[in-house]
Structure 1
């Protein structure tokens, strides 16, 4: 570093053109290339030698109890050595054997025997596959074993991330989208933009204009996590009301017009058996048609019937007469909900949009709205948010990570932004190269021919290859996962809160918590109402869906089965599955291990 700085000084003073300076620069470049080549060779050798151990890690992990017994025996023998030293003639002890030379000989012989036993046990431990496996893992550049390292890694903005906000200003009425693939730091940039806005806010200058600024995100878990990150980045800047889940935000806004309304997520699903007289669609298909397509996209009667708007992703084709039948059921449900004052999730958004369109400005109390994971908002939600933002909508999202909707919400919500309104992040700071490559290869294999794969990203950190364990017995799979979790904490030094265990279904969380308890590990479910991300000493448990937007140094995925998906076209089903597993894999910063049954597909 000093030599390069010396050469840069020469660039300014003019002597860099001298022959000697050129020779020095050439020598330094040659040295760095040789050093880099040596490091690459060493890394390649390490990976090659470690690959065999990784392929057998499920068997290797079973060696731990026997090795642990040997460690305890070494401790017992060392204690015996201490006792022997205390009782030795040299220390004035009173040996129980015969005195004199024969006693000293007996002491020396016993001590030698104990030392020999210790050396033998230590050699057996050090030469074991388990020890070599742990050593191989620890030799990779693992960056976030402790909470302090983890938090520093999370909140340190990079030059690329700062550059994304170089000309950012909430004084302009233009919307903005921060995009990039997983691990590029979209949420961090969004939180930095939010913090700058809050710090510069001067209500007294707006003279009655809306001044409130809120970040809306998809789930309550993400609200807690974004608040945790924001407090690490800019302590004390965000107040409790500055971050809200979309559910809370929309419920509060509609309450201003309809104080007695309630929202029932299961309402339309539960009514399907009573109203479905179409003879065409299953109850599940009709629920998706009405709740997610017609209400979720705010499809009008003219669009659905007269314009025959395409139903991309929906499973069963419908002609005009069949659409008319579906629309009649939609109208019946809407009348029922309005009479009851009880709405489904998306019809509540339709009602809010109706009030916003019929009385513009009446509900606008926000100067700017920030939206995290915007790709998972439905179009009707983005329409509402756009109208509720007095000035601009600042979003972070990537359609390649959509795990709920199967139709691009931005286009339907008329949020087609030009290039100057889109900030693309390309450096993957979260994942190692092996994790990134596995996740990207898996997701991209599900794309249609010619389909845009989305923004490229480039990782730069090395790490161990992800491990994939396949078993037919879910209970044995959970036992192996618990043993691996114990290994990362006890043998590799990760703090418990650095380990995230992601399950394919909510029903699996209790089983995993029980298995962890048997190996002495405490855990907590991130979706629980009382859970906080600042909590220490417990492993984090989550479903794949609830892990969206989170980060964990170690990710262990438990996939004995996959959750059921919506009754939509198989290609769209496959994409949702791939996106879901892609999102889960890319939560891992250092390590990803996948524990799956034979029926769950994954790239190997």
Structure 2
């Protein structure tokens, strides 16, 4: 019996296809479907490429002007569509590439030939930044040590360096040079090298990837190589014409198919208990979480014991559900429930005839009246501002579930900034005691208290979930984490938390997993590569966090030096204007330029009132605008200019972001570390361009 040939698509093929016109894409789709049905058909003429270093790369004619580059080994049944372009450009790409199996990891890799890597390194050395002021008598320059001189060939191969490029990698002396060849190396090789340059050991890198390097590898077995996790970060085997058509019709939706090796290994397979994955903005945390939900639904869940996927806001939950539907079958989606936690709690308590109304806004209605009556009992001798009492309520009393004076005396107040003696706590407590009494008389409950009530009910009758997946974990407080722990029995694969302390924009919700009954010891990983934001934008965003304390969601600290972006672009601009009116006037030409270059543009501002001012300014130029309200979902296909607050922009991404912010931020509700994190979130919504407008 003859096995059907294995046809695969390379990520480079889809990436370049997305840049071609719709007419050309149609031709490529028609050709690719014929190719997928039978790559051995007599009508397909595999032509050798003049000057190519890899004889397994062949050219296949699409029409007179366009060529597909195919990887076709002399033996075996693997055919890979590697690249598509105008014939001269396609030949040029193929002449500069090699495809080979890494002899240590077993991954099928695509990388540049030595004749491209060496000039890139030399150009980087010539263009390397120099000191702004040269000393009159330059000191003798000490001999430079290559960054990876201490690594053996086996070490370099194990982190993904192609055997053919060992010599060139050994000649790298600076991070500037390493970045210059980033696009010429396999992604796992570049990541491993920059992590080692940042201080990690080879063992650290291999542990985080869960990579085995102790197996015999057949470097001619391409069918096995293309199935490894590393290979699946750049190749996907296409089983049928329907799958091929779906992928070629959505070449920009590569996140549905291609996962970094670390993402894929974390998304698939069994885990011994709760797992935490950290990663900066744009590192693919949500993508990983969605793929994990898909794997669990396909392999472990049932329609009676579903996977519950939750996040902090309704908008993010709705976006996640829609994205899951794009790569999960209807049968798989029946085993996944997606809902933000507040909505789940509301529905759960209602089924139990809960006779309290949950407060989501303390500044409105009966809740506001209850709070004001409580504040009337404050001890004026303490000279504490009203804001202190509300912060203390949220960050201490509600977060720790405190209901009595004795509990408040013992409460932990780390990071609150104001030291309170026992006497002062006793003087403060009547405010909180009265507030709780006022709420009880009105049958109102704070959200944190409702979480505790739900968790108490779950102890007697846990819901039928096989696993819980939590996105944006940094925005959940301790009572929410305890509830999430109660929602699923302790078992393998029970909990996955993904998050980033740099993006905590609801500071009252800081919590530690270990203090909430969640043990992640030995099951914590990090994602380092930023797939969204350019390195130039990432560096500016990180600079805004200078001096900002960032935690790892479990009483430890996190850092940013190991994060890197894979793309580059223009350096972000900062413009300053004397008045808000001048700043608003500058927006129109700026946004018009972005739209003319077919970019999605979002103007991000601190407050809802600011969104209206921006909308009025842009309407004067007859530009279509959409103000993203708290309950309004974004349409990625819209050609209108989006206008958003910094909080609402969370979870979104655009080609270009204009951040409008006052020079003096003292009038804003957010300040200090909170404001720094909000600015970080706003800047990292951009894929290509950021402009900061200050007034």
Same fold, judged at TM 0.5 (above) = yes
Q: Separation in 1 of the partners of 2:250 and 2:583? A: 30
CA offset at residue 474 of structure 1?
0.9
Q: Separation in 1 of the partners of 2:367 and 2:416? A: 18
How many residue pairs match? The answer is: 458
Matched, 1:579 2:677: yes
Higher relative contact order (CA 8 A, sep 6+): 1
Matched, 1:165 2:266: yes
Q: Counterpart of 1:369 in 2: which secondary structure?
A: strand
Per-residue CA distance 1:79-119 (angstroms, 9 max, x = gap): xxxxxxxxxxxxxxxxxxxxxxxxxxxxxxxxxxxxxxxxx
Q: How does 1:74-223 map to 2 (within 5 A)?
A: 151-152=252-253, 155=256, 157-165=258-266, 168-169=269-270, 174-200=273-299, 203=302, 211-223=305-317
CA offset at residue 427 of structure 1?
0.8
CA spacing shift, 1:245–1:150, aligned 2, 3 Å:
farther
Is the CA contact (8 Å cut-off) linking 2:605 and 2:645 kept in structure 1?
A: yes
CA offset at residue 218 of structure 1?
0.9
Is the CA contact (8 Å cut-off) linking 1:224 and 1:532 kept in structure 2?
A: no
Q: Separation in 2 of the partners of 1:36 and 1:324? A: 67
Q: Separation in 1 of the partners of 2:314 and 2:569? A: 32
CA offset at residue 516 of structure 1?
2.0
Extract structure 1 runs of 4+ deviating beyond 6 A: 39-45
CA offset at residue 510 of structure 1?
1.3
Is the CA contact (8 Å cut-off) linking 2:630 and 2:648 kept in structure 1?
A: no
CA spacing shift, 1:517–1:575, aligned 2, 3 Å:
same
CA offset at residue 530 of structure 1?
5.1
Partner residue in 2 for 1:251? 346
Q: Separation in 2 of the partners of 1:166 and 1:225? A: 19
CA offset at residue 383 of structure 1?
0.6
Is the CA contact (8 Å cut-off) linking 2:268 and 2:295 kept in structure 1?
A: no
Q: Separation in 1 of the partners of 2:684 and 2:543? A: 12
Gaps of 5+ in 2: 1-50, 58-72, 75-111, 131-182, 184-248
Partner residue in 1 for 2:598? 493
CA offset at residue 565 of structure 1?
6.5
Q: How does 1:31-110 map to 2 (within 5 A)?
A: 32-38=117-123
Per-residue CA distance 1:261-291 (angstroms, 9 max, x = gap): 2122216554333212232332221122123
Q: Separation in 2 of the partners of 1:158 and 1:500? A: 27
Q: Separation in 2 of the partners of 1:523 and 1:44? A: 42
Partner residue in 1 for 2:693? 595
CA offset at residue 433 of structure 1?
1.0
CA offset at residue 353 of structure 1?
3.2
Matched, 1:512 2:618: no
| Aligned equivalent of 1:224, options 308, 312, 318 | 318
Matched, 1:293 2:396: yes
Partner residue in 2 for 1:461? 567
- Of residues 435-444 and 262-271 in structure 1, the stretch that sits farther from structure 2 once superposed is 262-271
| Aligned equivalent of 1:3, options 53, 56, 67 | 53
Is the CA contact (8 Å cut-off) linking 2:307 and 2:335 kept in structure 1?
A: no
TM-score, normalised to structure 2, is: 0.59
| Aligned equivalent of 1:410, options 499, 504, 513 | 513
Partner residue in 1 for 2:385? 282
| Aligned equivalent of 1:345, options 439, 447, 472 | 447
Structure with the larger helix share: 1
CA spacing shift, 1:232–1:540, aligned 2, 3 Å:
farther
- Of residues 269-278 and 33-42 in structure 1, the stretch that sits farther from structure 2 once superposed is 33-42
RMSD after superposition = 3.6
Partner residue in 2 for 1:133? none
Matched, 1:370 2:464: no
Gaps of 5+ in 1: 11-26, 46-140, 142-147, 205-209, 568-572, 598-604
Q: Separation in 2 of the partners of 1:398 and 1:42? A: 35
Is the CA contact (8 Å cut-off) linking 1:375 and 1:409 kept in structure 2?
A: no
- Of residues 503-512 and 226-235 in structure 1, the stretch that sits farther from structure 2 once superposed is 226-235
Q: Separation in 1 of the partners of 2:487 and 2:689? A: 41
Q: Separation in 2 of the partners of 1:499 and 1:489? A: 7
Q: Separation in 1 of the partners of 2:419 and 2:387? A: 15
Q: Separation in 1 of the partners of 2:481 and 2:594? A: 42
Per-residue CA distance 1:419-455 (angstroms, 9 max, x = gap): 3x11211111111110011111221343499x94435
| Aligned equivalent of 1:441, options 528, 531, 543 | 543
Q: How does 1:555-574 map to 2 (within 5 A)?
A: 555-560=657-662, 562=665, 573-574=671-672
Q: Separation in 1 of the partners of 2:609 and 2:399? A: 28
Is the CA contact (8 Å cut-off) linking 1:434 and 1:463 kept in structure 2?
A: yes
Q: Counterpart of 1:337 in 2: which secondary structure?
A: helix
